[in-house]
Homo-oligomer: A and B are copies of this chain.
């Protein structure tokens, strides 16, 4: 891609310096809900009364036990994920923790009784990129080699995924955020999901890490519905392949949500045998708060509509600014849900843009973060997280961002010109 920026260096530079002089302080680096969105959930803070601690089935949520979670909480996740309540295991406040613990356990104990990954040599994961930095961090922590493949508008490049998974027995997993992917915001197409479900991995202990973090985080007219990965995999003889993760972190409170895994009976059996050693059970009172507040999946959907009314204008503010300032200069995603906008800058400009934003008081996700090992080979992909800031703040932030983009482009052009002259 080649931009057609017509403004000259002094004009662009002056504009940037004027913005920098405002001494702004704003962080749009992480996918955090804003206080305005969290306020919607405040009634949950006081939803339990002093004598409200028994679940519908009479479980005293104050005491130990219930490693797999309250039946009603499993039911809510089941409805959201279109699975059975019996497919679901409830976790603590973090689905990232569930993913980390799975990979850790696979390294030390193998997959469902198989050979521990750490005894098998250099384990590899397929990583559609741009992707989620915290997924990549887990792989890196456990010395799992990350093989990037391209994330397209319809999901991972399935030709590449099939070739890798079906030829190399050391490819043990693939990260997927199937709905409103982090950061591109794409929704996997039906065909992509079906091709994933039909994979015939060379490794018998291959697992799909299906992080369905944003399945209800929709601000389009209709919530996208993708094929049910558990059912599709089962129909293709891959019942044990997927591990489906979800959480309330961006539905209720990010610090105090509830997480879950849905998986086959065989997977659940092994997961529970590990969790039963690790803990006496997750926080059932917090599950009860969620049950009382949301009641069921319909309650969750209703709530997410209210959240969308807060989130959509924030995305609109970012997208409008980009459209006004950067049309013809760059490309970016226009998601209908999720938490991020993916911005594709000119090559070799991403780091400089982050740097220029930072100097002007605007913190955006570090360049490279959406790639394994933080290595963006073309130094061009950026992630914008509009949800935490307020709309007026985002407008100011985008003035800086767009000015930084332009400045990085003219700087690059100048240096090319100078190099050409020399």
Contact = CB atoms under 8 A, between A and B. Distances in A.
A417 interface: no
Contact of A253 (B32, B63, B249): B63
A30 B41 CA distance: 36
A94 B63 contact: no
A191 interface: no
A66 B255 contact: yes
B63 A33 contact: yes
A286 interface: yes
A63 B331 CA distance: 31
14 contacts: A30-B64, A35-B60, A38-B60, A41-B62, A42-B50, A46-B48, A61-B256, A93-B279, A94-B279, A96-B278, A255-B282, A255-B283, A256-B283, A256-B286
B283 A283 contact: yes
Interface stretch (A136-144, A192-200, A206-214, A355-363): A136-144
Per assembly, the copies of the chain total 2
A43 interface: yes
B64 A38 contact: no
B284 A255 contact: yes
Contacts of A137: 277
Contacts of A96: 278-280
B64 A255 contact: yes
Contact of A285 (B51, B255, B282): B255
B61 A255 contact: yes
Nearest to A99: B278
Nearest to A107: B108
A141 B277 contact: yes
Contacts of A109: 141
Contacts of A281: 94, 255
Given A62-B255, A63-B254, A64-B255, 20 more contacts: A33-B63, A38-B60, A43-B50, A45-B48, A45-B52, A45-B285, A46-B48, A46-B49, A63-B253, A66-B255, A92-B283, A93-B279, A94-B278, A94-B280, A97-B278, A97-B279, A104-B104, A108-B118, A137-B277, A249-B280
